[in-house]
Amino acid sequence: MKMMKMETRSINTQMHIRLIMLLPVVSMMLGASALAADKTLIDYFLPMPITEALSKDVWGAAEVGPRDPNNGLEDTTMKQWCYWDGQIIKGPDGKFHMFASRWDQAKGHNEWVNSKAVHAVSDKVTGPYVDKGLCWPDNQGGKGHNVTALVMPDQRYAIVVSDTRPGDVFVSKSLDGPWELLGPIKVDANGFEAAGMTNVSIMVRPDGDYMIVPRSGQILISKAGITGPYKVQGPSVFSDRLPGIPCLEDPVVFYSGGLYQIVVNSWNTRKAYHLTSKDGISNWVSRGLAYDPTTNFTRYTDGTVNHWHKMERPGVLIEDGHVTAMTLAVLDTPKEAQPGNNGHGSKIIVIPFDGAALDRDLQNPSKETPAPGSPAPPQ
């Protein structure tokens, strides 16, 4: 009996020692899990490479800080164009093709109502992008705003413009054009409030259907091709999942990591938010902050940080199933402070993005956070 007690005490001692040795490992695992759960989309932006050198002499407000004028698409002299929008497609030539809008900077930011769609090209995803001119100069003089672009299932390319046009769709067999007007997007309200074709973001779903999210935040699906008709699937997912957040616009919708994802901007608070859904129609989940120009997320590989006044019109580049870069239209001052010819304006920046890490972390159910004012999910 005495021998059995000694053996039991020995076994208990060994188990106690092993538990002590395991504690740091368990602690690290729990800490890593908590860290992943606390992250939002803004944490996955990567530093921007510096093309040549950062400049303090380029146009813009001092608050922006030294920056790389070769990143993205801009008029470095700010004597000719203000640029806006910005959707990148990687072409079969290995080059990066950006579709954007531009207008005469001398007429100020409000000249966006007369903006025109342009095509720009770069050897590198971050730029510099060279403006190749108007996409359809013979159609309403090239008119086009809220420019976005995508690859169609038949491998043709499409550009969709809205706000200044009624959701017009142009298609081409080549990224260099010529671009043919197919016509405006048609909408079937399907018993819900009709969605307006403003701030249109469009994608091809994995099942081949087309999906649109406009400014209203409604989900629209077309089984009948890129011009529709698109059936409205329900009321705004923004009002349901982002209650109390005002002035939401400029959504971008995409599919990666097995989830449909939306980034949408609140123009007056200057912050953007992230939503996900498994089917792209229902049960959207609020994932928190997407980006915020007052934070230090826009940074270079040497640690220098830029603070643009506003960052709008997000666009994503997806490669191998994950977002690898995000484009943002940025302004160095408030829009009303840009009457033209005063050294202020807008451009498009390109920020590398770790979409693979984001998608991996989104698979963790503990990251699903409720929208503001919603009940907490069961644990």
Task: Give domain limits for the chain.
Answer: 40-367
Alpha carbons within 13 angstroms on the beta-carbon side of residue 72 total: 29
Low-confidence ranges of the chain (pLDDT < 50): 1-36, 369-379
- Give the pLDDT confidence score for residue 5 in this predicted structure: 44
Q: How many percent of the chain have pLDDT more than 70?
A: 86
- Amino acid 38: pLDDT: 83
In whole angstroms, what is the distance from residue 266 CA to residue 237 CA?
14
* CATH 3.40.30.10, applies to 40-367: no
- Between CA 140 and CA 184 the distance in angstroms is 14
194-244 pLDDT tens trace: 899 999 999 999 999 999 999 999 999 999 999 999 999 999 999 989 999
